[in-house]
């Protein structure tokens, strides 16, 4: 969303990803900025994370490393790396507060775009 609304990636993303993050040309920026009609939103729950800046020291990184966080539990997985469903989702649970928080974030950070909630709720 950040490039679509603000014209570039968030500063923390630029810092964490560095030269691996592509830059926009002036023409691309002109095309990207404001180029959406609505935000499509799928919400299933919240996962608890803690900052783990040591991940930024890894030589080879992926999305998880660039996020520089440690999950209390991996989303959608239990300690045996099995998918979680329904009431067994543990820390990854469907919560109204987390959806409300995300909608407030979109409103404040991204100038209150039109939002369509496509999916939400627990897995069954």
Look at the pTM and tell me if it is higher than 0.85.
no
Q: What is the pLDDT of residues 52-84, one digit of tens each?
A: 999 999 988 888 899 999 887 665 566 666 655
Listed in sequence order, the residues at least 6 apart from 2 whose beta carbon sits closer than 8 Å to its beta carbon are: 8, 9, 10, 13, 110
Q: State mean pLDDT over 30-52.
A: 90
**Of residues 54, 76, 77, 79, the one with CA closest to residue 67:** 54
Residues classed as catalytic = 119
């Amino acid at each position: 969303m950040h490039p679509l609304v603000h014209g570039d990636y968030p500063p923390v993303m630029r810092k964490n990803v560095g030269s691996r993050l592509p830059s926009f040309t002036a023409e691309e920026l002109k095309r990207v900025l404001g180029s959406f009609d609505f935000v499509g939103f799928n919400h299933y729950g919240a996962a608890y994370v803690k900052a783990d800046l040591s991940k930024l020291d890894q030589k080879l990184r992926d999305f998880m490393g660039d996020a520089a966080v440690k999950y209390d539990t991996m989303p959608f997985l239990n300690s045996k790396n099995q998918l979680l469903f329904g009431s067994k989702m543990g820390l990854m649970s469907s919560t109204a507060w987390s959806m409300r928080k995300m909608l407030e974030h979109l409103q404040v950070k991204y100038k209150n775009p039109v939002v369509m909630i496509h999916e939400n709720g627990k897995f069954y």
